[in-house]
């Protein structure tokens, strides 16, 4: 039977409805920054271009029932992709990548965290799907189309022409857009969420092929770059060997950000113990220390610390490259007689820790099976921090010295659930429950760490140890900027402020040292491996790393963030703007002796080029598993 000629083809109606919905999500549910009218225009047209390209494929089905079925299911799947990205964005202010889809086993541990990110009104995202589903069932013959072959080709050609126009405008607005794939927000707002996912698939395929074709020759350029731009002179810092032979007790303080240090809420100190620790004569406190993680969060911070290499811009190295060859901190200190352990009362398979810890050279991993966890002593993601430290002491006492023991806390984790009896201070009062509940959770962790210090002293472990406390990554994402600006007393959180909020505390406490102080130099998690080796008096003459000893004089002067932004002694580069690090004001090009007075990014261009090269070299090492070719002897 010949199909009737429709008045309004359903694929056109589906494209309009879906495009409008997607634009609404872009504009009002994703926190996408728009700098000018052209960006607004591109953001508006790209969902319609993507929708037309997808739904116009229905015309290639000759039977009306197949056309309608294609439209129904493709619209549902596409909407679910938007929904999944929206839920993910609410927590991470980022978009899903292909490697994260292979991390699905992590989802089973997320539990209540995901439920807090799903809103009742999200069901409205599927309203147009229900409408199309209903009318396609009722008006199947009237809404299907029957095109000759040239009509089908014309529909496809029109789709591709619109797509090319979208890409052309995007490239005009953001030159080298496709070579800056680490900036996912720019990709989404310029080419759309669905084209971004296609681009991500292509990038993933290219990355996976790098290991197959790698032969080790790539290391020549990497070593040359490191020798010229990263490694400092052979002069050892004044702290070289300051902790030689001591045990290392490392505390990964979950989601601890620097803005709570020496600060209060409702008139109460948020971190009284850590505040006092800063003033301790045996403590070195780094107040401009930045987290540099990507999508792997805590696992990325571990990767940075142990390897002095950057995490990947897509997915988590722990998951995607857990079987690579590394030359990590635990492996190096093992040759000096150290044993190493990780203590974390969570599912051991989360973030693929079992495999990755073996690759990094850890000797033991005490996961949740090593602890007594019940309903009374657990909350949120698992065992509360106080019983976690209390139950861990017996493991520390049994370790052969010298040892390296890394503790990963859990309580101060999104969504920052905490029972009333565990709250020593009142929550904050703002429009964000996440920020409100963050303060009591941080205070609880502060108390847990204080109790742990007392236990270390009581058992005699304290005096023979160096204790490092580090915030692993941010806890409050940009989605809570309105509440954050209220707490910080600002009119708004600017891109400059957003980078500054990536500062996390770093305490290096050396009992008996007596020379502790607050250090203001710019530093980051990439610096911890060379710093710790220096403190232990271990001189590694041949190694691949991208950080510097925190106590050295001639540091490289900048730290790279995983998204390509950077912080230097003078500047902060983010969102295409070069800021003065001290004042937070955009830097005029004239201040950097350039002729282009309209482009304030010139002040940061020299460092930016090094940052991009550094990130790329680190990625090349991981994707190609290049350290398997490197002779560390």
pLDDT (tens digit per residue) in 416-471: 989 999 999 999 999 999 999 999 999 999 999 999 999 999 999 999 999 999 99
Between the CA atoms of 299, 300, 303 and 308, what dihedral angle is there, to the nearest 10 degrees?
Answer: -160
Dihedral (Cα; 78, 82, 87, 88), 10-degree rounding: 100
At 92 the pLDDT is: 67
- What whole-number distance in Å separates Cα of residue 633 and Cα of residue 621? 18
Position 190 pLDDT exceeds 70: yes
Ordered by start, the domain boundaries in the chain are: 10-210, 250-537, 556-633
Say whether pLDDT at 181 is over 70.
Answer: no
CA distances from 527 to 222, 492, 493 (A): 18, 31, 28
pLDDT at 589: 61
* pLDDT at position 143: 66
Q: Enter the pTM of the model.
A: 0.78
Establish whether 298 is a catalytic residue. Answer: yes
- Give the start-end residues of each E strand in 420-476: 465-471
Tokens representing 583?
């004042």
SS3 for 485-554, per residue? HHHHCCCCCCHHHHHHCCECCEEEECCCCCCCEEECCCEEHHHHHHHHHHHCCCCCCCCCCCCCCCCCCC
Mean pLDDT score, 299-320: 92
Residue 235 has what pLDDT?
74
pLDDT band for 594, please (50, 70, 90 cuts): very low
Cα–Cα distance for residue pair 94/414, rounded to 1 Å: 16
Are 488 and 479 contacting, i.e. CB atoms less than 8 angstroms apart? no
Each residue of 596-608: pLDDT tens digit? 434 455 779 999 9
For residue 596, the model assigns a pLDDT of: 42
pLDDT at 33: 74
The more confidently predicted of residues 232 and 379 is: 379
Q: Which residues pair with 572 in a beta bridge?
A: 567, 579
Mean pLDDT along residues 95-116: 63
Lowest average pLDDT, out of 167-176, 340-349, 549-558, goes to 167-176
Mean pLDDT confidence for 296-305 = 95
Q: Which residues contact 596 (CB under 8 A, 6 or more apart)?
A: 589, 602
Q: How confident is the model at residue 302 (pLDDT cuts 50, 70, 90)?
A: very high
H/E run at residue 558: strand 558-560
**What is the per-residue pLDDT across 493-536, written as a single tens digit (0 to 9) for each?**
999 999 999 999 999 999 999 999 999 999 999 999 999 999 99
pLDDT band at 354 (very low <50, low <70, confident <90, very high): confident
Q: With bands split at pLDDT 50, 70 and 90, how would you rate the model's confidence at 226?
A: very high
| pLDDT above 90: percentage of residues in the chain | 59
The answer to whether residue 623 scores a pLDDT higher than 60 is yes
What does DSSP assign to residue 2? Answer: P
pLDDT at 629 over 90: yes
pLDDT > 70? residue 481 = yes
Question: What pLDDT, on a 0 to 100 scale, did the predictor assign at position 111?
Answer: 54
Give the whole-number percent of the chain exceeding pLDDT 70. 92
Q: What local confidence, expressed as pLDDT, does residue 115 receive?
A: 75
Omega before 408 within 30 of 0, i.e. cis: no
User: Residue range 7-20: average pLDDT?
Assistant: 85
Most confident of 183-187, 202-206, 333-337: 333-337
- 3-state SS class at 560: strand
Averaged pLDDT of the chain: 88
Res 3: pLDDT: 46
Positive or negative torsion for Cα 380, 386, 388, 389: positive
Give pLDDT, residue 39.
85
Query: What confidence category does residue 234 fall into, taking pLDDT thresholds of 50, 70 and 90?
Result: low
| Fold annotation for 250-537 | Alkaline Phosphatase, subunit A (3.40.720)
Report the pLDDT value the prediction gives residue 208, as an integer from 0 to 100. 75
Q: What share of the chain is helix, strand, coil (3-state, %, to 5)?
A: 50, 10, 35
For residue 300, what pLDDT band results from cuts at 50, 70 and 90? very high
What is the average pLDDT across 183-190?
79
Closest CA to 445 of 392, 393, 503, 386: 386
Place 201 in a pLDDT band, splitting at 50, 70 and 90.
confident
Top mean pLDDT of 51-65, 104-118, 347-361, 465-479 is at 465-479
Which residues, including other chains, have CB under 8 Å from residue 68's CB and lie 6 or more apart?
Answer: 10, 136, 137, 140, 143, 144
Q: Dmax over Cα atoms in the chain, in whole Å?
A: 92
Q: How confident is the model at residue 541 (pLDDT cuts 50, 70, 90)?
A: confident
Q: Among residues 22, 298, 339, 531, which one is catalytic? A: 298
Task: Tell me if 417 sits within 8 A of 437, measured CB to CB.
Answer: yes
Class of the CATH-defined domain 556-633: alpha beta
CB atoms closer than 10 angstroms to residue 215: 9
On whether the CB atoms of residues 411 and 379 are closer than 8 A, the answer is yes
* Highest-pLDDT range among 137-141, 248-252, 343-347: 248-252
């Amino acid at each position: 039977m010949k199909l009737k000629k429709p008045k309004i083809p359903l694929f056109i109606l589906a494209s309009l409805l879906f495009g409008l919905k997607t634009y609404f999500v872009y504009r009002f549910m994703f926190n996408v920054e728009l700098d000018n009218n052209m960006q607004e225009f591109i953001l508006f047209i790209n969902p319609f271009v993507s929708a037309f390209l997808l739904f116009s494929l229905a015309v290639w089905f000759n039977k009306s029932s197949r056309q309608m079925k294609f439209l129904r299911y493709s619209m549902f799947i596409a909407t679910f992709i938007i929904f999944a990205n929206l839920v993910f964005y609410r927590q991470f202010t980022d978009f899903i990548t292909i490697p994260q889809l292979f991390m699905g086993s992590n989802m089973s541990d997320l539990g209540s965290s995901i439920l807090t990110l799903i809103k009742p009104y999200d069901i409205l995202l599927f309203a147009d799907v229900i409408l199309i589903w209903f009318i396609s069932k009722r008006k199947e013959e009237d809404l299907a189309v029957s095109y000759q072959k040239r009509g089908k080709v014309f529909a496809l050609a029109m789709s591709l022409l619109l797509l090319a126009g979208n890409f052309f405008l995007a490239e005009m607005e953001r030159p080298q857009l496709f070579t800056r794939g680490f900036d996912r927000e720019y990709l989404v707002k310029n080419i759309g969420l669905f084209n971004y996912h296609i681009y991500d698939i292509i990038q993933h395929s290219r990355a996976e092929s790098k290991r197959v074709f790698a032969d080790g020759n790539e290391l020549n350029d990497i070593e040359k770059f490191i020798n010229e731009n990263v490694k400092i002179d052979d002069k050892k810092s004044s702290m070289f060997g300051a902790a030689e032979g001591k045990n290392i007790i490392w505390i990964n303080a979950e989601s601890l950000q620097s803005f709570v240090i020496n600060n209060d809420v409702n008139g109460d100190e948020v971190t009284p113990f850590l505040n006092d620790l800063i003033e301790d004569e045996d403590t070195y406190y780094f107040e401009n220390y930045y987290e540099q993680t990507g999508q792997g969060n805590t696992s990325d911070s571990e990767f940075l610390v142990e390897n002095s290499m950057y995490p990947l811009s897509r997915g988590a190295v722990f998951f995607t490259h857990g079987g690579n060859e590394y030359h990590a901190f635990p492996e190096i200190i093992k040759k000096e007689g150290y044993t190493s352990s990780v203590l974390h009362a969570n599912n051991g398979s989360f973030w693929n820790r079992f495999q990755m810890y073996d690759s990094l050279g850890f000797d033991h991993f005490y996961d949740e099976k090593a602890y007594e966890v019940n309903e009374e002593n657990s909350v949120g993601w698992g065992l509360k921090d106080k019983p976690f430290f209390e139950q861990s002491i017996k493991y520390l006492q049994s370790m052969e010295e010298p040892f390296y023991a890394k503790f990963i806390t859990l309580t101060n984790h999104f969504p920052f659930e905490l029972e009333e009896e565990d709250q020593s201070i009142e929550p904050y009062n703002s429009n964000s429950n996440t920020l409100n509940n963050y303060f009591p959770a941080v205070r609880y962790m502060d108390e847990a760490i204080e109790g742990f210090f007392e236990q270390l002293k009581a058992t005699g472990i304290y005096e023979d140890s160096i204790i490092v406390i580090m915030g692993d990554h941010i806890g409050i994402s940009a989605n809570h900027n309105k509440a954050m600006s209220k707490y910080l007393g600002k009119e708004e959180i600017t891109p400059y402020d957003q980078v500054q909020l990536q500062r996390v505390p770093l305490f290096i406490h050396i009992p008996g040292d007596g020379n502790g102080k607050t250090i203001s130099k710019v530093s980051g998690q990439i610096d911890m491996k060379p710093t710790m080796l220096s403190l232990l008096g271990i001189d590694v003459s041949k190694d691949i790393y991208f950080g510097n000893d925190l106590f050295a004089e001639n540091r490289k002067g900048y730290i790279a963030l995983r998204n390509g932004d950077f912080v230097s002694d003078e500047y902060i580069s983010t969102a295409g703007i070069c800021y003065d690090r001290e004042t937070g004001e955009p830097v005029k090009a004239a201040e950097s002796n350039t002729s282009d007075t309209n482009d304030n990014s010139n002040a940061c261009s020299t460092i930016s080029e090094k940052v991009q090269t550094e990130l790329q070299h680190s990625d090349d090492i991981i994707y190609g598993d290049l350290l398997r070719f490197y002779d560390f002897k």
